[in-house]
């Protein structure tokens, strides 16, 4: 019999990467967190959480957006009190984007919601299967064909 492993994974990933899936996910994760947090601004927020204080240009490189786009999204988040700007003490040209306390809290909430949703869906799995799957997924994503930028 022929091996369908690649096709099975392709189907599953295809579904996962669909627009509707992403939209539903964002809607659920950011619900009730204020209108400043949406599918557009969240990557700025979570990028900052990942990297720590960063200039708009650097953050743009990190998340694959133009510097000016990052600036304007950060404007909204700053107005909402989730992000703060401060002059870089080391470089007088640069402005560092930083998460406020509330900003950290917002990221923590969305991340926790994400984890909870995953754990709920894994609740019916034998624990060993769940662990195996988690390890496999991590490996697949980390060394996968299109995951991190290696350049």
Site of interaction with DNA (CB under 7 A):
40, 55-58, 65-69, 71-73, 85, 91-95
Pick from 9, 52, 101, 108 the residue near a copy of itself by CB under 8 A: 9
- Which residue lies nearer to DNA by CB, 46 or 55? 55
Closest CA to 108 of 56, 30, 16, 18: 30
For the chain, strand residue ranges (E) read: 54-55, 83-87, 95-99
Site for a copy of itself in 22-61 (CB under 8 A): 22-25, 28, 43, 46
Binding segment toward a copy of itself, per CB under 8 A, in 30-38, 82-90, 94-102, 138-146:
138-146
Site for a copy of itself in 102-121 (CB under 8 A): 111, 114-121
Radius of gyration of the chain (CA): 18
Q: How many residues does the chain have?
A: 151
What interhelical angle do 42-51 and 101-121 show, nearest 10? 100
């Amino acid at each position: 019999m022929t091996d369908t492993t690649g096709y099975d994974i392709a189907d599953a990933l295809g579904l996962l990467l669909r627009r509707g899936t992403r939209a539903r996910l964002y809607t659920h994760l950011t619900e009730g967190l204020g209108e400043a947090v949406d599918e557009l601004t969240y990557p700025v927020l979570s990028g900052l959480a990942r990297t720590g204080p960063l200039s708009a240009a650097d953050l743009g490189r990190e998340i694959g957006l133009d510097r000016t786009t990052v600036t304007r999204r950060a404007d909204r988040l700053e107005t909402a009190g989730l992000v703060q700007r401060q002059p870089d003490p080391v470089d007088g040209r640069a402005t560092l984007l930083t998460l406020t306390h509330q900003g950290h809290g917002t990221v923590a909430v969305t991340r926790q919601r994400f984890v909870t949703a995953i754990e709920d869906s894994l609740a019916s799995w034998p624990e060993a299967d769940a662990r195996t799957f988690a390890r496999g997924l991590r490996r697949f994503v980390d060394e996968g064909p299109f995951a991190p930028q290696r350049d």
